[in-house]
């Protein structure tokens, strides 16, 4: 089988962690199987869809490293959808309904009061020509429903196993609104047939939709893809993410300094039997992808875990991987500074602070009770600094002042760096140089 999958976002907003996880599942699966990854832009909602959002989606996917092989827009394929709709009408599977939204709502409420499932009563199938003419005379326009078989639709889901939907328990789905616009269902099936999509990989909120769509597939073609419905994302508290998706968009995460591979590393593994780890590239994620590893419970997305993975990735990055970005940020110091400081950052932008600490003139932070101690340190600085100078200096200070432990090291770190944490002070001292270090130990700008 030729593997062909599609990711189908609507250009009505930027990508967020929820739909990126769906994109990632498609991408990892198709890369592992040397298939074709298709980006389908679901822009049939012409009022809400914008070119800016479409461009943003493509920008987000490129940032994440998920390159598509083919792409197309649904808004340019209305002729195909109309042709499919006409076939369904001819076959008696697409029928006109004239109820208003208010009438349908009252019908559902009445059924609930009667303890019956709120399923459409198929009144549209029994309309006479006179009734239709009367509705038309009122100015009503029909919406169009697909006539389900009323039987049981079964398939073997790659995540959920054997699935069955009793179509007598759901309403005939509306495929075309009264204004003539298409809902998601019919265009999606038509496109999957035309593009020969082999596997439909999406969230489990589409499981019931799949029951109806399988019948539409069978009504239009002999092509039927396999399905995989993955659990939805929730926050670390187990609650849905819907109210926070704006803050979890790729645009926002990028602005916060999150690395794209941190996003991929987390989303690829949460909700699976594999441990979450900071993977430096897509290769290992692709090699380890398996639908059999995906559990049935909701996948918990934890922003604190994302931050931790982000830091771990940066700690392992070579200078060549960040050189250009550091240059664009105005961070100097070259490879020596990066190698020394990378394990002390959580985001790349943190390097700016460490660069300033080393290279910008600043006065040391010295408490009154430590001024004599730091002045003594300035006098004891070796004339030529080397990798042993820090040990030499602290050893001499310990002998002369009797200080040890934090009382010995912390005043020196604060005087030289202005921080109470950081990297190996022996290497910091070398980067500072003797004259700058001496000034800071004396409380002067250096």
**Over the chain (446 residues), what is each successive 10-residue block's mean pLDDT?**
95 94 98 98 94 97 97 98 98 97 92 92 95 95 97 98 96 97 97 98 95 98 98 88 74 96 98 96 97 95 96 97 95 93 96 94 92 96 94 95 95 95 94 96 94
Tell me 445's DSSP state.
Answer: B
Enter the tokens of residue 312.
């771990």
Query: Ramachandran region of residue 278, left (φ > 0), alpha (ψ -120 to 50) or beta?
Result: beta
391 burial class (0-12, 13-18, 19+ CB within 10 angstroms)? exposed
Is residue 218 helix, strand or coil?
helix
CATH 3.40.50.970 fits 1-72+231-316, yes or no: no
Rounded distance, CA 284 to CA 31, Å? 11
Quickly count: other Cβ atoms within 10 Å of residue 91's Cβ.
11
Beta pairing class for 174-176 and 199-203: unpaired
Dihedral, 196, 230, 161, 8 alpha carbons, nearest 10 = -10
- Between the alpha carbon of residue 352 and those of residues 337, 345, 441, the distances in Å are 11, 10, 23
Question: How many CA atoms within 13 Å lie on the side-chain side of 167?
Answer: 19
Cα–Cα distance, 109 to 102 (Å, whole number) = 11
Q: Which regions of the chain carry the CATH code 1.10.10.350?
A: 368-441
pLDDT at 237: 86
| pLDDT at 404 (0 to 100) | 94
pLDDT score recorded for residue 121: 95
Return residue ranges of the chain for CATH 3.90.800.10.
Answer: 80-176
What ranges make up the beta strands (E) of 148-271?
A: 152-157, 161-166, 174-176, 199-203, 226-230, 233-235
Q: What angle do CA 394, 398, 404 make, to 5 degrees?
A: 95
**Beta-carbon neighbour count of residue 444 at 10 Å?**
14
Q: For residue range 195-254, what is the model confidence (pLDDT) as tens digits?
A: 999 999 999 999 999 999 999 999 999 999 999 999 999 988 888 776 566 679 999 999
How far from each other are the two terminal CA atoms of the chain, in whole angstroms?
A: 68
Q: Which pLDDT value is given to residue 241?
A: 76
Tokens (6 digits) for 446: 């250096």
Can you tell me the distance from the alpha carbon of 75 to that of 11, in angstroms, rounded to the nearest whole number?
Answer: 11
Q: What stretch(es) of the chain map to CATH 3.40.50.620? A: 1-72+231-316
CB atoms within 10 A of CB 31: 19
Inter-axis angle of helices 51-64 and 260-269, nearest 10: 80
Predicted pLDDT of residue 7: 98
Q: What is the architecture, at CATH level 2, of domain 80-176?
A: Alpha-Beta Complex (3.90)
Tell me how far apart the alpha carbons of residues 109 and 117 are, in angstroms, rounded to a whole number.
10
Class of domain 368-441: mainly alpha
Element (H, E) at 31: helix 17-32
Ranges assigned E (strand) in 53-192: 70-73, 94-97, 143-146, 152-157, 161-166, 174-176
pLDDT for residue 1: 74
CA distance 214 to 206: 12
Q: What is the pLDDT of residue 403?
A: 94
Give the global pTM: 0.92
pLDDT (0 to 100) of residue 376 = 96
Q: How far apart are CA 61 and CA 398, in angstroms?
A: 56
Q: Which two tokens stand for residue 130?
A: 């006179």
Q: What is the pLDDT of residue 242?
A: 66
Joined tokens for residue 132 = 């239709």
Give the pLDDT of residue 247: 74
pLDDT in tens, 243-283: 566 679 999 999 999 999 999 999 999 999 999 999 999 99
């Amino acid at each position: 089988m030729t593997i062909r999958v599609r990711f189908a976002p609507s250009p009505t907003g930027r990508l967020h962690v929820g739909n990126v996880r769906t994109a990632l599942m498609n991408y990892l699966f198709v890369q592992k199987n040397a298939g074709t990854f298709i980006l389908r832009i679901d822009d049939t909602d012409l009022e809400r869809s914008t070119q800016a959002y479409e461009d943003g989606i493509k920008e987000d996917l490129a940032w994440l490293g998920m390159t598509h092989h083919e792409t197309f827009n649904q808004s340019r394929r209305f002729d195909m959808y109309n042709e499919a709709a006409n076939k369904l009408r001819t076959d008696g599977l697409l029928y006109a309904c004239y109820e208003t939204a208010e009438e349908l709502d009252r019908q559902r409420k009445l059924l609930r009061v009667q303890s019956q499932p709120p399923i459409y009563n198929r009144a549209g199938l029994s309309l006479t020509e006179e009734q239709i003419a009367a509705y038309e005379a009122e100015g009503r326009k029909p919406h169009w429903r697909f006539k389900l078989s009323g039987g049981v639709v079964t398939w073997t889901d790659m995540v959920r196993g054997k699935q069955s939907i009793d179509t007598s328990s759901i309403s005939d789905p509306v495929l075309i609104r009264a204004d003539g616009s298409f809902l998601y269902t019919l265009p999606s099936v038509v496109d999957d047939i035309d593009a020969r999509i082999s596997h439909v990989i999406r969230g489990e909120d589409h499981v019931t939709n799949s029951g109806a769509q399988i019948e539409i597939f069978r009504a239009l073609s002999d092509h039927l893809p396999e399905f995989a419905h993955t659990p939805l994302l929730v926050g670390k508290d187990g609650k849905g993410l819907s109210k926070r998706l704006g803050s979890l968009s790729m645009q926002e995460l990028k602005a916060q300094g999150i690395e794209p591979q941190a996003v991929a590393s987390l989303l690829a593994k949460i909700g699976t039997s594999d441990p979450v780890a900071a993977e430096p590239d897509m290769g290992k994620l692709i090699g380890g992808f398996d639908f059999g590893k995906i559990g049935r419970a909701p996948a918990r997305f934890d922003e604190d875990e994302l931050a931790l993975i982000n830091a771990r990735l940066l700690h392992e990055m070579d200078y060549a991987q960040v050189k250009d970005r550091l240059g664009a940020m105005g961070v100097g110091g070259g490879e020596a500074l990066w190698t020394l400081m990378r394990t002390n950052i959580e985001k790349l932008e943190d390097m700016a602070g460490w660069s300033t600490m080393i290279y910008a003139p600043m006065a040391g932070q010295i408490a009154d009770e430590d001024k004599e101690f730091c002045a003594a340190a300035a006098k004891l600085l070796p004339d030529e600094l080397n990798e042993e100078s820090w040990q030499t200096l602290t050893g001499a200070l310990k002998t002369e002042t009797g200080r040890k432990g934090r009382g010995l090291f912390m005043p020196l770190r604060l005087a030289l760096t202005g921080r109470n944490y950081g990297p190996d002070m022996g290497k910091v001292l070398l980067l500072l140089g003797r004259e700058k270090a001496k000034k800071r130990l004396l409380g002067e700008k250096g």
